[in-house]
Structure 1
C-alpha cells in the first residue's frame, strides 16, 4: 500500500522568503546523525524497519540499477511510517495486526500514520478517506483492535487540524470531536500507544493558533503533536516552533506533551514546494528516538522518501529518481546496534497465521575463532507461510577491524529475495554477505547488523564471520 502524502494548498503557499529562511537554517549540519546515547523524550527502544515497503520492493526488483546502492543503503535501510490511507473497513484490522505483530516479533517499535478522515486534504491531490465521521470511527475501532499491547507510535491524520479552510464552523467542531474520540479509542485499546496530533509546520499557522486548535481536538488525551509531515522546514525551526506550541498549550492548561518531527526530507536545498516533486530536496536526520531534546520524542520519516506528492507524479507513488536525489549527497546512516526489546509487562499480541509470528526468535551465537577478529549472531525475527526474515549481528573482537564477511549454508528450499545493510552474493546453497562502505570499520567490541528476507522454512544456520 502506498501512502498518500499530505499535500494541502497551504503547504504549497510557502513564500520565497520563508523558503530562503528555512533553507539557510538547514544548510549547516543538515543531516545530523542523531543515533547514539543522546537523551530523548518519553520513548525507549528501537524503531521498526518494515521490510514490505515500496522502496524495498523496488530495490529487490532492480539490483543492477545505478541508483540501487544509494537508495538501498540510505533509504530502504531505514525505518519509516506505515500509512493507513486506503480506506477499507474489511482489511485494516488484519493489516495492523500483521504489521504490529512483525514489529513485536523483532522487539522494535512500529510507526503508523492514520490518514482516513473525511474530506482529507480539502479535496486536493490526496483526497479520499471515509465517507462520513461515523464510518471513520468504525475504521478507527478496527485499527485499535490490531494494536496489541506494546509501544506503538501513531501519527493521527496529517493536515486534519492545521488545514481547516474547506470546513464550516460546525464541520470543524465535528472533526475535533472525531479526533478526540479517535485518540481515546486508540489509547484505550493499547495504553502503551503513543498518539500524536497534527500541528502543521513552522511556516504555517502561528504557534498560539495551532495550540488552540490542538486543545479543541483533544490533545490533552494524546501524547503530543507532530510537525513537518511531507514538508521541508529545518529541524531547528520545527523544534523552536514546537517549544512555542508547548508554551501556548501550557498557557491553556495542557502540559506534559511532546513533539515528533518528520525529518524525511528537510536536509536542505531550496525550491518550490511542488517543483518537479522536489528533486531539489535532501533527506534530513535519520529516524531515531535519540533526539537529545527532552521535548522531542522522535525524529521520524513519516513521509517515506521517494514517494511523490502528487505534483509531477501520482501522490504516494514510489519514484526512484526522487529517492536517489533525496539521498545522493546525504552521509551514510550510523551503524546500528542490536534492537532493544520494547518494555512491557503485557503479553504479546496473537497474529493471524499468515502474518509474522510473535514467538521470541531463537538466537544462536556462532563466534568465529579469535584470530578472525569477529563473531556473528543470527536471529529469525519473523516468519510467515512460505518465508521468513533473518537478522545477523556482527561483533568485532578485542581489536578494531576494517571490514567483515559472513558466510553460511542455506537450508533445503531456501532462497534469499532481499538483503539490506550488506552486499549479498549466493552460489548454489552458499550465502555470503560483506559489509557495505559505512558499516565495515568497527571498533573493538563494536557491532553492525544486516538483515534479509528469504523464501522457505526458517532454520538456524551455522554462520562464520571473517574480519579484514
Structure 2
C-alpha cells in the first residue's frame, strides 16, 4: 500500500493522553440450539413435504414433491430463549441448493406465526454455498417464544437444499468497550502453526497476535458476506468490538501499485460495499474506510480515470455504510502527516463523504509519530470545522515506535523500511485521538521491497520480529 513518506518536526512536549481501560467482556447467547449439524439435525423438524437428515456437517432438506406455497415444504427449529421485543437480532446461515430458486427465511413467534413474522425475507439460493446475514427487530407480543423457519416450497420443482452455520444472536444493547482479538489473524495463525520456530512463534504470539488488530477485507474473499459475518459474529459472541478495513475501491493503491486491484468499476464497488455493510448489519463495529483512497485519487489519472469519480465512489460508500451498518463507527482515511497539507486534505474529505462518518483515520500503514499525527489531525479538523464540523479521529500506531525511516531515497521509505518498531498498543483515549489502533497488521508486508520479499499483505515473521525488536 502506497503512503508517501517524509520527515516532520516533532513537538517538543510529549503527547499526554488519559487512557480508557476496556472492561471485561461477556459472551452473547446463541439462540439456535443446533446450527452446525455435526451429528444430527435435532431440534430441527421437517414440516409438510420435506425430509431432513444430517449429511457431512450440513442439514440436508429434501423437498419431496412440487407444492404451491413456500410453507408447504419447510424446516423449523425453536429458539433456545424468548426474544426481547424492540431488540435487534441477526440471523445468518450458509445454504445452497441443487437448483437455484428463491426460498424464504423467517423468524416468527410460535403462538402467532402468521401475524408475527419478525423476519420474512426471500433469499436467492444458488448451486454454490453462500452466506446470508439478515438483521431484524423483534416486535411486541404477549408470547415471545420464537422459531426459525426455512420455507422451500413454491419453486416449481423439488429441490434439495443444504444448510450450515445457522446462527441467531441479539445485537448488544450497550456498545462493547473491549476490542476483539482474532485467533485467525495472520500473526495468530502463523504463531499457532507447530511447524514454525518455537521461540519466534512465542514472541509473535505474545507481542503481536495477542493484541486487537484490524482485519482487512477486499476482493480476495469470494463470499464477502461470509467473511464479514464470520468475523463480526465471532466478536459479537464475545461481546467485543470487531475492527474492519474496507479495501476494495477500483484502482486501489494507485500511487504505489504494490497493493493494486480492487473492484472493476463504480457499480462493482457499490455492490461490494453494500454487501460488506449489510453483513455488518445492525451490529456494533469499527470500520476504517479505504486507506489512501482520498489521498491517492490524484494518481488514478495514470489509468485514464477521473479523481472526481473516486471521490464520488467514496461518498456513495459512506452513505451505504450509514444506511446499512448504522452501529458501525466509520473512519474515512485521511492519509498521513505529510502526504497532503491539511488545507488540501479537508475539502477532499468533505467531497468524499466524511459528513456521513464518525471521523477520519491517519497514519494507516505508516510510521509517523503519534505526536506528528496528532498535530496533523488537529490541523485537518481546523479546516473541517467551517464545513462539516470537527470530527473524531484515530491513529494507526502499529509501526510508529521509532518514527519514520529517513535516508537519501525518501520516495520508497514507506515500504518495509528497516529499524522500525511496534508503537503503543491499541487503546481508547479520553483526549486527542479517539483510539490508537493497530490498523496495519504488524508483520504483514507492504510489498516486495525494503527488508521483505513477500507480496503485499503476506505475513513475514522476520518482518514481525524486526518490529518487535525495533
TM range (shorter): 0.5 to 0.7
Instruction: Give the drift of 1:58.
Output: 1.1
**Would you say the 8 A contact 2:362–2:395 is kept in 1?**
yes
- Is the Cα–Cα contact under 8 Å of residues 198 and 226 in structure 1 kept in the other structure? yes
Higher relative contact order (CA 8 A, sep 6+): 1
Q: Which residue of 2 aligns with 1:292?
A: 430
CA distance in structure 1 between the aligned counterparts of 2:188 and 2:461, rounded to whole angstroms: 11
Contact 2:368 2:403 in 1 (8 A): no
Structure 2 unaligned regions, length at least 5: 24-173, 407-411
Q: Kindly indicate whether residue 280 of structure 2 is the aligned counterpart of residue 147 of structure 1.
A: yes
Pair member with larger Rg: 2
Question: What does residue range 82-231 of structure 1 map to in structure 2 within 5 Å?
Answer: 82-88=215-221, 90-122=222-254, 124-168=257-301, 171-231=306-366
Structure 1 residues 80, 248: closer, same or farther in 2, change over 3 A? same
Distance in 2, Cα, partners of 1:64 & 1:167? 42
**1:172 Cα deviation after fit:** 1.8
Once superposed, what is the RMSD of the aligned Cα atoms? 2.7
SS in 2 for 1:318: coil
Deviations 1:19-73 (A, max 9, x none): 6x46x979x799x9955389xxx98611111110111111111565332222111
CA distance in 1, matches of 2:324, 2:20: 31
Could you tell me how far apart the structure 1 residues matched to 2:197 and 2:274 are?
A: 44
Which deviations, in whole Å up to 9, do the C-alpha atoms of 1:158-178 show, x marking residues without a partner? Answer: 111011232349722211111
Displacement, 1:247?
Answer: 1.1
Q: What are the within-5 Å matches in structure 2 for residues 404-415 of structure 1?
A: none
Within the alignment, does 1:235 sit opposite 2:370 as a pair?
A: yes
Q: Do 1:34 and 1:286's aligned partners in 2 also have CA atoms closer than 8 Å?
A: no
Aligned residue number for residue 2 of structure 2: 7
Q: Quick one: distance in 1 between partners of 2:223 and 2:395?
A: 29
Q: Establish whether residue 306 from structure 1 lines up as the match of residue 443 from structure 2.
A: yes
Contact kept? 1:56, 1:76, Cα under 8 Å: yes
| Paired residue secondary structure (1:296) | coil
1:36 is matched with which residue?
21
Partner of 1:413: none
For 1:283, the equivalent position in structure 2 comes to: 422
Q: 2:209 aligns with which of 56, 72, 76?
A: 76
Gap change, CA 1:25 and 1:214, over 3 Å in 2? same
* 2:213 aligned counterpart, secondary structure: coil
* CA-CA distance at 1:235 after TM superposition: 0.7
By how many angstroms is 1:203 displaced? 1.6
Partner of 1:328: 469
Aligned residues: 307
For 1:239 and 1:226, locate their aligned partners in 2 and report how far apart those are by CA, in whole Å: 11
CA distance, structure 2, for counterparts of residue 158 and residue 103 of structure 1: 23
Q: Is 1:260 matched with 2:255?
A: no
Q: Determine if contact 1:208/1:245 at 8 Å carries over to the other structure.
A: yes
Q: Deviations over 1:203-258 (max 9, x none)?
A: 2211111001001111111111000011000111111111111110012x211511
**Residue segments in structure 1 that go unaligned for 5+ positions in a row:** 1-5, 330-468
2: distance between equivalents of 1:282 and 1:198? Answer: 22
The answer to whether the Cα contact below 8 Å between 2:192 and 2:201 also exists between their aligned partners in 1 is no
CA drift at 1:118 = 0.6
C-alpha change, 1:44 and 1:95, in structure 2 (3 Å) is closer
CA–CA separation in structure 2 for the residues paired with 1:129 and 1:225: 21
Distance in 2, Cα, partners of 1:237 & 1:321:
28
Measure, in 1, the Cα distance between the counterparts of 2:414 and 2:12: 20
Q: Find the partner of 2:457 among 316, 336, 358.
A: 316
Match of 1:383 in 2: none
TM, length-normalised to structure 1: 0.61
Q: CA deviation digits over 1:68-98, x for unaligned, max 9? A: 222111101001111012345x500111011
Change (3 A) 1:33 1:70: farther
